[in-house]
Amino acid sequence: MAATRYRKFLRLAENWPIDPTKAGRDFGVHLRQAIAAAFREGPNTKINEKDCDRQYEALQRLNTDHNRKKFPRVKETSATGSTAEECNMVMATATMQEMEYLDKNIFQKVKSFFTSDDDLKR
């Protein structure tokens, strides 16, 4: 029976999209790694069938947008008022790295403003 479950998880991983803008943080990549770790021996792996089925069904519901279709949104914005596209742009790795760079520069400027030349000589 593990072989059937293994094939189901492989199909799920194939259908799960990978977001290249979230390098190192993408759930699709994490899912593939978790499946490889859980099924180390491929279809011959001994598994807890009940837990495996429960996890598969939960992931399948996420992948098919089950709850999104069941409970459609009235507005296409988030709690912040941002659209999904804006949220995706902000969460992209490149944007986060740029913000981290800006935060470091701002912190250094503030620090240098409050640090006198006498403090630097000590």
* CA gap 16, 21 in Å, rounded: 15
Q: Give the number of C-alpha atoms closer than 13 A to the C-alpha of residue 31, restricted to the C-beta side.
A: 21
- Give 83's DSSP letter: -
- What are 80-88's contacts with CB under 8 Å, separation 24+? 88/21
Query: What's the average model confidence in pLDDT over 41-65?
Result: 92
pLDDT reported for residue 103? 67
pLDDT reported for residue 58? 95
- Give 63's DSSP letter: H
User: Please, what is the average pLDDT of the chain?
Assistant: 82
Query: What's the average model confidence in pLDDT over 34-51?
Result: 90
Q: Which residue has the higher pLDDT, 120 or 112?
A: 112
